[in-house]
């Protein structure tokens, strides 16, 4: 069965509306993408939708109570909440450096959770 | 200003003083230094640099500028490192109280009162959020009402949850991003209410913040009343007609404990206003020429206090140019600015920056469409002569439009006004 679907690209701020035709595991771009990145995005979105995950992790003894974190690569959409659950159980000790791995292989996804901010020790 | 007794007055002088250490101020200061200004001072009232970026923990920053998507804190740290390497004189926790027409800045911090004589000033004070009182929402005044950015700071910087059952008014980017953020932190996001027939935030945020989590978006709706004694208990939402008048009988009660406002941003220009710098009533920012110079000589403006940008990428590019102009201002002998051409928004266009062209040559215009359009044509008209005609595949008020145009000398000598219009194909 051939299905037509509109996919809004989220790669850049333009947000192209891409019309695709899906036939089983085959995908054909009909129209709408203004650049090549849209083709890649539409394919992934149709068969294996993924999102970058950004949230925060508790910090002990830091100048801030939290450090912002991101997934090392986009995570499958259905894994977002299991990963968030594991992140909520996690705390790190200050100092934290931006780029530092906070959790490896989070929720058995082979994806890491990485700090996106530098948090120094609390001065007190 | 009268100086109170016992307060230490510290005198300084600098080539370029940048007011505000957010992304615009950082980019302007770095660029001023790179363009040859020897002594650059960067002032910020917070204890950290980067402005709002550290609380914008989502990604999507820097895509247009660098090709890679960064989170807000990562983007900020990149610029902070550059500023520190460039030997910029950074003064944090320093509040600018005023500056005068001779560009003498009065600022205060723990060490005392500072008087800074600046050869050039770059304004980069950013913007603040509209509140309930900007749109006059009737009802009670309970706790649980926050602007989206304040809720964002609570959650992302201070580890405080603002509430459990949340309604958001306004579909600007901060509101959309907060809908997802609250969902991630376990809150029920009951819906985003938008008075316009379309979302005001970027399309990618409608998809990845609302649609991904089945959060309802109530278009053509507004909040007509807030109810609650101690804490918000419910809000009333209602449908509006094409003229944005509430359609009676469409009112619906939504039980909630938290009400977030994402109504748009107001450029922060008290300092500019006090010294008599002309403010554009539509952008809310200073009127500038193509070098980002305001109507007060030697004072430049950039970032969200000039106009509210939709991405930090474009903001930083403009801010770098403003910083460069401020540095060059030191060496260039000012010509008599007798010829000035004004740029005005025409049909289909809400505003254009710069508002003044003071020299012929290549000029970069940024503008916003009045409403979303599919394909359209951008016209730049001098009297009855068309200077530029450009086809656009799309136009959306959420996406600022940038266009380069060459303004010949003869146009400037014969025309006092340029008009920028968006029309159908």
Chain B residue numbers touching A118 (CB-CB < 8 A):
77
Which residues does chain A have within 8 Å of residue B399's beta carbon, measured at their own beta carbons? 13-14
Alpha-carbon distance of B104 to B121, in angstroms, equals 9
- Give the ipTM: 0.92
Domains of chain B by residue range: 1-128+265-332, 131-263, 339-425
Question: What residue has token string 């450029």?
Answer: B267
Residue A118 at interface with chain B, using a CB cutoff of 8 Å: yes
Closest-CA residue of A relative to B54 is A117
Other beta carbons within 10 Å of B388: 17
- Nearby residues of B413 by Cβ (< 8 Å), 6 or more positions away: B339
Q: Given this model, what pLDDT does residue B391 score? A: 92
Instruction: Give every CB contact of residue B214 below 8 A, 6+ residues apart in sequence.
Output: none
Is there a contact between A54 and B206 if contact means CB atoms under 8 Å apart?
no
Rounded Cα distance between B107 and B116, Å, is 8
Q: For position B340, what pLDDT does the model report?
A: 85
What pLDDT shows up at residue B399?
A: 85
Q: In chain A, which residue's Cα lies nearest the Cα of B63?
A: A12
Rounded to whole angstroms, how far apart are CA atoms A40 and A53? 19
Among the partner residues B57, B184, B206, nearest to A116 by beta-carbon distance: B57
* Other residues' Cβ atoms within 10 Å of the Cβ of residue B374: 10
Neighboring chain B residues of A15 at a CB cutoff of 8 Å: 202-204, 206-207
pLDDT number for residue A123: 79
Nearest to B189 by CA among B211, B159, B219, B173: B211
pLDDT at position A70: 98
**pLDDT for B338:** 65
Q: Do B64 and A12 touch (CB under 8 A)?
A: yes
Interfacial residues of B (vs A; Cβ cutoff 8 Å): 54, 57-60, 63-64, 69-74, 77, 155-159, 184, 202-204, 206-208, 212, 310-311, 393-394, 399
Ordered per-residue pLDDT tens for chain B, 425 residues = 555 677 789 999 999 999 999 999 999 999 999 999 999 999 999 999 999 999 999 999 998 888 889 999 999 999 999 999 999 999 999 999 999 999 999 999 999 999 999 999 999 999 999 999 999 999 999 999 999 999 999 999 999 999 999 999 999 889 999 999 999 999 999 999 999 999 988 888 999 999 999 999 999 999 999 999 999 999 999 999 999 999 999 999 999 999 999 999 999 999 999 999 999 999 999 999 999 999 999 999 999 999 999 899 999 999 999 999 999 986 555 555 567 899 999 999 999 999 999 989 999 999 999 988 878 899 999 988 899 999 988 788 888 999 999 999 888 888 889 999 998 87
| Residue to test with chain A: of B73, B199, B369, most A Cβ within 10 A | B73
Decide whether B1-128+265-332 matches B131-263 in CATH topology.
yes
E-only strand ranges, B244-360: 252-255, 258-261, 265-267, 299-301, 341-345, 349-353, 356-357
CB burial string B277-305: b at 16+ within 10 A, e below: bebbeebbbbbbbbbbbbbbebbbbbbbb
Which chain B positions have a beta carbon within 8 Å of A12's beta carbon? 63-64, 204
DSSP A73-91: S-EEGGGHHHHHHHHHT-E
pLDDT tens digit string along A41-74?
Answer: 999 999 999 999 999 999 999 999 999 999 999 9
* B174 Cβ contact list (under 8 Å, min separation 6): B129, B148, B149, B152, B262
CB spacing of A98 vs B73 below 8 angstroms: yes
Closest-CA distance, A65 to chain B, in angstroms, reads 6
Kindly give the residue spans of alpha helices, DSSP state H, lying in B20-71: 23-34, 63-66
Nearest Cα residue in chain B from A69: B57
pTM greater than 0.90 (yes/no): yes
| A 21-60 → B contacts, CB under 8 A | 34, 51-52, 54-56, 58
Return the CATH number of the domain spanning residue range B339-425. Answer: 2.60.40
**Residue in B63, B72, B204 closest to A15 by CB:** B204
Contacts of A34 in chain B (CB under 8 A): 393
**Cα–Cα–Cα angle for B28, B30, B31, rounded to 5 degrees:** 65
Contacts of A55 in chain B (CB under 8 A): 57, 184
Interatomic CA distance for residues B78 and B92, integer angstroms? 18
* Residue B373 pLDDT: 83
CB contact under 8 A, B157 and A66: yes
According to DSSP, residue B282 is labeled T
Q: Which residue among A70, A84, A98 places its CB closest to the CB of B59?
A: A70
Measure the CA–CA gap between A44 and B381, rounded to whole angstroms: 44
The highest-level CATH class for domain B131-263 is: alpha beta
CA–CA min distance B73, chain A (Å) = 6
Nearest-Cα distance to chain A for B11, in Å, is 30
Determine the 3-state secondary structure of B114 from DSSP.
strand
CA B344 to chain centre: 20
Domain boundary assignment for chain A: 2-48, 54-115
**Considering Cα of A74, then A75, then A81, then A82, what sign does the dihedral take?**
negative
Nearest to B19, CA basis, from B283, B355, B272? B272
**Do B57 and A10 count as a contact with CB atoms less than 8 A apart?**
no
Give the closest-approach CA distance of B135 to chain A in angstroms.
Answer: 28
Q: Do A55 and B208 touch (CB under 8 A)?
A: no
Mutate to test the interface with B, among A15, A77, A95 (most CBs of B within 10 A): A15
Q: Which fold has domain B1-128+265-332?
A: FAD/NAD(P)-binding domain (3.50.50)
pLDDT under 70 in chain A at which residues? 124
Helix (H, G, I), strand (E, B) or coil at B209: helix
CATH superfamily of A54-115: CPE0013-like (3.10.530.10)
**CB–CB of B204 and A11 under 8 A?**
yes
- Let me know the angle formed at the C-alpha of B90 by B87 and B94, rounded to the nearest 5 degrees: 170
Query: Min CA distance, B366 vs chain A (Å)?
Result: 16
Rounded CA-CA distance B10/B7 in Å is 10
Give A-chain residues touching B50 at CB under 8 angstroms: none
Q: What pLDDT does B240 receive?
A: 97
């Amino acid at each position: 069965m051939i299905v037509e679907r509109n996919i809004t690209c989220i790669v850049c701020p333009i947000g192209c509306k891409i019309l695709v035709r899906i036939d089983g595991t085959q995908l054909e771009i009909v129209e709408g993408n203004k650049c090549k990145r849209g083709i890649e995005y539409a394919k992934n979105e149709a068969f294996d939708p993924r999102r970058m995950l950004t949230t925060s992790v508790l910090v002990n003894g830091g100048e801030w109570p939290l450090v912002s974190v991101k997934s090392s690569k986009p995570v499958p959409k259905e894994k977002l909440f299991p990963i968030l659950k594991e992140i909520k159980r996690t705390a790190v000790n200050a100092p934290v450096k931006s780029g530092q791995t906070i959790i490896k292989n989070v929720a058995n996804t082979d994806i890491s959770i990485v700090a996106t901010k530098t948090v120094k020790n609390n001065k007190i | 200003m009268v100086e109170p007794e016992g307060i230490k007055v510290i005198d300084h002088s600098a080539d370029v003083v940048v007011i505000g250490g957010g992304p615009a101020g950082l980019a302007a200061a770095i660029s001023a230094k790179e363009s040859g200004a020897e002594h650059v001072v960067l002032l910020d009232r917070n204890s950290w640099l980067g402005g709002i970026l550290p609380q914008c923990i989502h990604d999507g920053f820097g895509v247009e500028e660098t090709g890679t998507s960064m989170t807000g804190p990562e983007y900020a740290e990149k610029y902070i490192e550059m500023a520190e390497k460039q030997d910029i004189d950074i003064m944090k926790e320093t509040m600018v109280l005023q500056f005068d027409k001779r560009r003498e800045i009065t600022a205060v911090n723990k060490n005392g009162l500072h008087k800074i004589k600046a050869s050039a000033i770059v304004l980069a004070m950013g913007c603040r959020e509209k509140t309930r009182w900007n749109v006059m929402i009737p009802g009670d005044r309970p706790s649980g009402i926050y602007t989206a950015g304040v809720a964002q700071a609570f959650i992302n910087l201070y580890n405080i949850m603002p509430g459990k059952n949340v309604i958001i008014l306004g579909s600007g980017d901060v509101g959309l991003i907060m809908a997802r953020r609250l969902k991630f932190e376990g809150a029920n996001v009951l819906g985003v209410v938008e008075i316009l027939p379309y979302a005001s935030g970027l399309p990618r945020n409608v998809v990845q913040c609302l649609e991904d989590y089945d959060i309802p978006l109530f278009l053509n709706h507004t909040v007509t009343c807030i109810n609650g004694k101690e804490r918000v208990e419910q809000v009333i939402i209602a449908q509006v007609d094409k003229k944005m008048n509430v359609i009676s009988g469409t009112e619906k009660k939504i039980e909630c404990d938290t009400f977030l406002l994402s109504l748009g941003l107001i450029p922060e220009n008290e300092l500019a206003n006090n010294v008599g710098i002309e403010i554009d009533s539509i952008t809310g920012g200073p009127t500038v020429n193509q070098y980002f110079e305001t109507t007060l000589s030697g004072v430049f403006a950039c970032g969200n206090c000039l106009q509210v940008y939709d991405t930090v990428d474009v903001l930083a590019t403009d801010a770098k140019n403003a910083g460069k102009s401020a540095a060059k201002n030191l060496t260039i002998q000012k010509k008599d600015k007798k010829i000035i051409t004004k740029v005005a928004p025409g049909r289909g266009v809400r505003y254009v920056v710069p508002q003044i062209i003071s020299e012929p040559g290549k000029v970069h215009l940024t503008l916003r469409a009045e409403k979303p359009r599919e394909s359209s044509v951008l016209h730049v008209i001098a009297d009855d002569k068309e200077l530029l005609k450009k086809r656009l595949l799309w136009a959306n008020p959420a996406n600022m439009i940038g266009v380069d145009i060459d303004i010949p000398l003869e146009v400037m000598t014969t025309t006092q006004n340029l008009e920028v219009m968006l029309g159908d194909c």
